Amino acid sequence: MIFAILGPTASGKSDLAENIAKHFNAEVINFDAYQVYIEMNKGTAKPTKEFLSEHPNYHLYDFRHVDDPYNIMLYQKDGRELLKKYAGKHIVLVGGTGLYLKALLFDFKFLEEEKMPEDYLSNLTNEELYEELLKIDEADAKIIGPHNRKRLIRALYIYKIHNKSKTELNENGKSNLLYDDVVFIGLNPDRNLLYERINKRVEIMFEDGLVDEVNELKEKFPKVNQALQAIGYKEFFNGLDLESTKELIKKNTRNYAKRQMTFFKHQFEDVNWFENIDEAYEYATTRYR
């Protein structure tokens, strides 16, 4: 059985995955795009290095360096190899990058495309990019939001190259689930409670040394790259004071949680949704053996 655990950041997915994995003696496979990086710990809510060293059943965590970019195509290959390796065992999939999960479990093929020019649509503001994408692909625009310039430009470039929106391309076979033993379990806490958890998590990240970690990353990797565009890291490159940076991380994380839920509910059917991990755990362990 493959248990795929969905939900916004700070909803309790990691705790639920750990509990289910213990119950079923299962393998755990990460589908978070940033928890793969060795140097990114405090801001990604990744399991600690000590925990990972004691749990060899946890996979695709902490194995890539920040200057060695990882992407969805590499993830699909690595993840499917693990699903094949552990076929016959219980497996728990957990993370926050919905597109990685979609690529792993569904008939998700990647289209070759020309390299995008570095200055493509550089004359347009974020608001103009967002309005343009709304006309072409309203669903994807709402998932991306009006502030993620890089993803807005890429979505518009995909349309230019293929004459189809990303949503249209995603529907091309990507609703076909490749595995017949997948159970989707979603966590969707009360929004006010979720936002409280997010704010508390950010406070703890700062207390645990996020600022020192970011300073080390800046020194080691002075050029801002793909990995350092993660929420919890990119905000430190805005020239804000620490308190303003902290509040911006909280705000961006709350907005990200909204986009995650939009994606999960739009892209995944037959999800069993629960408000808390106790209900979800009881469902998983009593319904399946």
Q: What is the DSSP letter of 110?
A: P
Burial class (CB in 10 A: 0-12, 13-18, 19+), 119: exposed
Per-residue model confidence (pLDDT) at position 160: 87
The runs of H, that is alpha helices, within 163-228 are: 166-170, 191-207, 210-220
Task: Encode pLDDT of 178-228 as tens digits.
Answer: 999 999 999 999 999 999 999 999 999 999 999 999 999 988 887 667 788
Per-residue model confidence (pLDDT) at position 186: 97
Query: SS3 string of 56-93?
Result: CCEECCCCECCCCCCCHHHHHHHHHHHHHHCCCCCEEE
Per-residue model confidence (pLDDT) at position 9: 96
CATH superfamily for domain 2-109+175-287: P-loop containing nucleotide triphosphate hydrolases (3.40.50.300)
Q: Quick check: 96 and 8 in contact, CB under 8 A? A: yes
Q: How far apart are CA 98 and CA 224, in angstroms?
A: 24
Q: How far apart are CA 247 and CA 251, in angstroms?
A: 6
Alpha carbon distances (Å) from 213 to 89, 176, 204, 266: 37, 41, 14, 35
pTM of the model as a whole: 0.81
Structure tokens at 174: 């990507």
Per-domain boundaries in the chain = 2-109+175-287, 126-170
Per-residue model confidence (pLDDT) at position 113: 62
> Within the chain, which residues score under 70 in pLDDT?
110-114, 170-174, 223-224
